[in-house]
Structure 1
C-alpha cells in the first residue's frame, strides 16, 4: 500500500500531514512575504542606477540569500529557533540574541497556511485536486498579506497563479478549460473596465493592474461563473472593513486601500466552499 493510499484510508493522518506541511510551507511564505517586495524595490533601484550610468548593489538578495537572520541584530537564526510556531512560542515572540520583538505575522501565516491545507484535504480528499488547491491557497495568502502591507501584487506571484489555473484545468480539475480561459479573460477585462471608467469620471486611479491579474487568475482556476460571487463578496467585505477603519480613525476618507486581500480571500472561499457558497448567495 502506497503512502497516498495510507493517507486516503486514514483521515486523521491525512489531516495531520496536511497541517504539518502547511506549517512548513507557511514558514517559507513568510520569507516570500518579507523579501519579495524588497527584491522588487532593489530591482527598480538597479534599473534606475543603470539608466543613470551607475553601478547597482553587488550583494545577493533573494529568497535564499542571505540566510534567515534577525533584522535588529543581524544574527543568523539557528535551526531550532526557526521551527514554525513552536519556536515563536518558546522564545515568547522575541529574538533569542537581542530580545527584539518578532512580529506575530510569522506564526499567524504559518497557522493560516496549516488550516487552509487541512481544509483542502477535508473538502477535496487526498487527491491531486487537493494538492493544487493548496498551491492556490498558498499563493493567494501570500498576495493578500503583501498587498495589505505594501499595496503591491507582484507579477512573480499573480502570473504563475494565472498560468497554473489554466494548466490544472487542461484536464478539467476544477472547471472545463473553456470556462477557465473565459474566466481569465473576463476577470482581467472586468476590473480593467472599472479602472478606466473610474479614472475617466474622477481623474483618479481606483485600483492597480495587479488587481486585474489577480482576478484573472481566480477566473482561470474557478471559471467565469465564479467571478460575480467573488467580486460581490470582496467588494462587500472591503467596504465594510474600510468603513470600520474610517470610523475608528485608522484611515482617511480619501486614503486608497488595497483590494487584493479581499479578492484573494474571496477566491479561497469560492474554491473551498464551492456549491455551498453559490447556494448561499443565490438565497
Structure 2
C-alpha cells in the first residue's frame, strides 16, 4: 500500500480514538439519564473539571499514570481501552471500504455498537435512544450504500426483529420465564437495517456460538446456575462486526465445507 494510505489509516485511528473518548461519556451518562454534552467531563470522585490536555485519548491516560490529576484516584483502564478499540474499528472500516460514503455510515454504526455493548455489559439494558433511531438511520442509509438495496434493509428490520421475538416467545413458553429482553430484539432489527436480511441468520449464529462459549463456562463457575444473566447485546454487536468485515468470506468458506 502507498504511504498515503498508511497516513489515512493512522488518521482514522486518531479519529476513532477521539470518538471513543466521546463514547465513554455516552456509556456513563445515557443509562443515568444525563446529558451527553453538558456539563464538561469531570472526575467522578472529586469533581475536578478535566482540562483539554488531560483529555487527549489514550495519551493523557498514559501521561497521568492512569490517575486523576487532582485526587490521584485510579482511572479505569477501560477508558483508553474503548478509545483504542474504536480507533482500531475505524481503521478496519477504512481499510475494507476505502474512501466512500459507506465508510462514514459504518463509522456511525460501529460507534453505536461499541456504546450499546458496554452499556449492556454494565446495566443489562440496550437504550431505545440508540437502537430505535438506529433502525431508521440504517434504513435511510441503505439508499446510499450500493450493495445494500433498500428492500434488503427493510426485510432485515422485519426479519431481525421478528426472529428474536419468536425465539423470546418460544423460550418464555418453554422455560416459564423471560430469557431475552426487548432491547436485543430492537438491536437485531437495527443490525438488519444496516447489514440487510442476509446478515440476520449468520449474525444470530455467530452471536449464539460465542455466547455459548462464554456463558457455559460462567455457568459452570457459578455451579450450574442456569438463571445467570449474561447480556446478549455485546455478542450480537461482535457478530455484526465480524459479518461486516468478513461475512462474505465466512459464508463462502461455510458453503465450501459441503463440496
SS of 1:274's equivalent in the other structure is helix
Q: Aligned partners of 2:200, 2:97: CA distance in 1, in Å?
A: 21
- 2:29 equivalent to 1:35: yes
Task: Tell me the C-alpha RMSD between the 2 structures.
Answer: 1.7
Query: Which of 226, 232, 240 is the equivalent residue of 2:199?
Result: 226
Q: How does 1:95-134 map to 2 (within 5 A)?
A: 95-134=68-107
Q: Answer with 1 or 2: which has the greater Rg.
A: 1
Gaps of 5+ in 2: none
**251 and 35 in structure 1: CA distance in 2 versus 1, 3 angstrom threshold:** farther
> Is contact 1:33–1:145 with CA below 8 Å preserved after alignment?
yes
The equivalent residue for 1:24 is 18
The equivalent residue for 1:175 is 148
> Is contact 2:172–2:178 with CA below 8 Å preserved after alignment?
yes
- 2:212 equivalent to 1:235: no
Q: Aligned partners of 2:145, 2:26: CA distance in 1, in Å?
A: 30
> Is contact 1:85–1:111 with CA below 8 Å preserved after alignment?
yes
SS of 1:98's equivalent in the other structure is coil
1:199 CA displacement: 1.1
Q: Aligned partners of 1:9, 1:67: CA distance in 2, in Å?
A: 37
CA deviations over 1:72-122 (Å, ceiling 9, x no partner): 111111111111000111111111111111111110110000000000111
1:9 CA displacement: 8.7
> Is contact 1:14–1:126 with CA below 8 Å preserved after alignment?
no
- 2:74 equivalent to 1:81: no
CA deviations over 1:253-281 (Å, ceiling 9, x no partner): 31221100000111111111131122233
- 2:57 equivalent to 1:63: no
- 2:120 equivalent to 1:147: yes
Q: Aligned partners of 1:9, 1:111: CA distance in 2, in Å?
A: 22
Q: Aligned partners of 1:119, 1:270: CA distance in 2, in Å?
A: 13
Gaps of 5+ in 1: 1-7, 40-60
**161 and 9 in structure 1: CA distance in 2 versus 1, 3 angstrom threshold:** farther
SS of 2:108's equivalent in the other structure is helix
CA deviations over 1:170-220 (Å, ceiling 9, x no partner): 244341111110110000001111111111222200111110111011111
Q: Aligned partners of 2:74, 2:198: CA distance in 1, in Å?
A: 45
When normalised by structure 2's length, the TM-score is 0.94
Q: Aligned partners of 1:262, 1:174: CA distance in 2, in Å?
A: 25
- 2:184 equivalent to 1:211: yes
Q: Aligned partners of 1:120, 1:159: CA distance in 2, in Å?
A: 23
